[in-house]
Amino acid sequence: MPIHTRTLFSTTLALALAASTFACTPRPGGPVAENQDEECRLEWRPTPVVQAAEPAQIVAPFSLTASDGTGLEIIAVDAKAVVEDPLAFTELRLVFRNPEDRQIEGRFELNLPPGAAISRFAMLIDGRWQEAEVVELQAARRAYEDFLHRRQDPALLEKNAGNTFSARVFPIPARGTKELIVSFSEELPAMGEPYRLLLRGLPELQNLDVDVVVPRHDGPHHLRMRKQKFTPQSDLELQVDKRPTEIGLRFDRLAVARVAPVVDLPQEPIKGVTLLFDTSASRAIDFKGQVARLGSIVDELKAQNGDFDLRVLCFDQDVEQVFSGPASSFSADAQQAILRRAALGASDLGGALKWVAEHPNGHGRVLVVSDGIVTAGESESDDIHTVAKSLGAAGVQRIDAIVDGGVQDEIILKQMTTAGLAKAGIVVNASKPANVVASRILRATLAGVKVNVPGATWVWPQSLESVQPGDTFLVYADVPADKAIRIELG
């Protein structure tokens, strides 16, 4: 199937390309308190109905908690970001206050955006910033304990499941403050997903200071927002009216570009689906909402496809069948059965896939609804890839995934859906409307699309394993600085 290719940018444009195409036109009269203009603006993201949850169930993007569970007050959040499509860099300077009359050790929790990579962690000690270094885990833990015994000020940051990090911070003085800096970079691969500063779920802040820089041909343009005694009810987004579908950045030999393959693929109707619904403890927050979203998606699949045979399995460290029959019979009673099971166990995704392989029922499609956080059984993405591929012998032709939950890991789900079965599957977020989710599940995919950049020393990725109409991808390449860059897909 032919795929359109385009020359994305030449050496003469370099970094100026993104600055000019992603530029904002400032209003006359200079900056204002909440700086907006005709093309770029900071907006509070409206919470979609599908994401509605009780305030107590919303996962804050970061927090600092004492060992006894007491939460420390967040005094100030100073966020600085540079957004140069299709990449973004964010630095958070956070100030916490210890309300206790005693010195304590705190645990810092950080939830990063999907796919973000942490680049800096620092703690203010005696008026200077102490920078963290990347070391082997056990060596880091030994060093932390050694510093504790020597009564020095250590902090230990560890990566947890998904894209979450936790840090042990000591000491936090009685009635005193502790200042931390965390920096991270992220990709912006989807044109429809803007840069987003995660703030929803935080308590009242004494000070919130946001400065987002958008480079342009005549210099950086700042979008600022300052609030005092303010409780964020949603995340903050950078909205750009004229955001291009395809765009690239280049520095010397290194380049990154967002590409949009032009494909026309038919619908792929379903006759029977085995649905694996994750009921592990990591999904406990807004579990009722997740079950309701499942019901809406099943309804949309039935509306767009017609009735089909459905088997619903709940899984954590074991597997339980809660429904089998026509999708039209998947009613509130079936959803109540899932709610009664509750989200309590460990997540053994590999074990659930093996169960399907051992209990074939003629279904050619498998749909997994999960946050992707695997805490039992095979936990490495390569292992999940191998188990998923084995389902081909049981007649499964395609596996799709709907990612839903507060903390998410899409990487392992993508390995599962592109495991080399007869057809590649997709990973779609449950935050999208149910009709969109269903439409994508019912759409065919194109697998193994080769990526070529003539003259490049290396290219990543070398192939696109699952493509649907409207998808966008980031391509990285190392190309001699004197050569123009052309990305070929096919």
**446, part of any domain:** no
- Indicate whether 159 and 56 sit together in one domain: yes
pLDDT at 38 over 90: no
Question: Which of 211 and 150 is assigned the larger pLDDT?
Answer: 211
Helix/strand/coil (H/E/C) assignment for every residue in the chain: CCCCCEEEECCCCCCHHHHHHCCCCCCCCCCCCCCECCCEEEEECCCCHHHCCCHHHCCCCEEEEECCCCECEEEEEEEEEEEECCEEEEEEEEEEECCCCCCEEEEEEEECCCCCEEEEEEEEECCEEEECCCCCHHHHHHHHHHHHHCCCCCEEEEECCCCEEEEEEEEECCCCEEEEEEEEEEECCCCCCCCEECCCCCCCEEEEEEEEEECCCCCCEEEEEEEEEECCCCCEEEEECCCCCCEEEEECCEEEEEECCCCCCCECCCCEEEEEEECEHHHCCCHHHHHHHHHHHHHHHHHHHCCCEEEEEEECCCEEEEEEEEHHHCCHHHHHHHHHHCCCECCCHHHHHHHHHHCCCCCCEEEEEECCCCCCCCCCHHHHHHHHHHHHHHCCCEEEEEECCCCCCHHHHHHHHCCCCCCCCCEEECCCCHHHHHHHHCECCECCEEEECCCCCEEECCEECCECCCCCEEEEEECCCCCCEEEEEC
Q: 179 and 217: one domain? A: yes
pLDDT of residue 461: 96
Which domain CATH number covers 116? 2.60.40
Number of domains making up the chain: 2
pLDDT tens-digit readout, 448-481:
999 999 999 999 999 999 999 999 999 999 999 9
Q: Is residue 55 scored above 50 in pLDDT?
A: no
Which range in 130-134, 218-222, 483-487 is most confidently predicted, on average pLDDT? Answer: 483-487
pTM (predicted TM-score): 0.83
The answer to whether residues 79 and 148 belong to one domain is yes
| Residues 91 and 234 grouped into a single domain | yes
With respect to residue 453, please indicate whether it lies within any of the assigned structural domains: no
- Is 140 domain-assigned? yes
Residue 50 shares a structural domain with residue 134: yes
Domain with 342 in it: 272-441
Q: In terms of domains, do 79 and 222 share one?
A: yes
Whether residue 396 lies inside any domain: the answer is: yes
% of the chain exceeding 90 in pLDDT: 58
Does 361 reside within a domain?
A: yes
Same domain, 337 and 407: yes
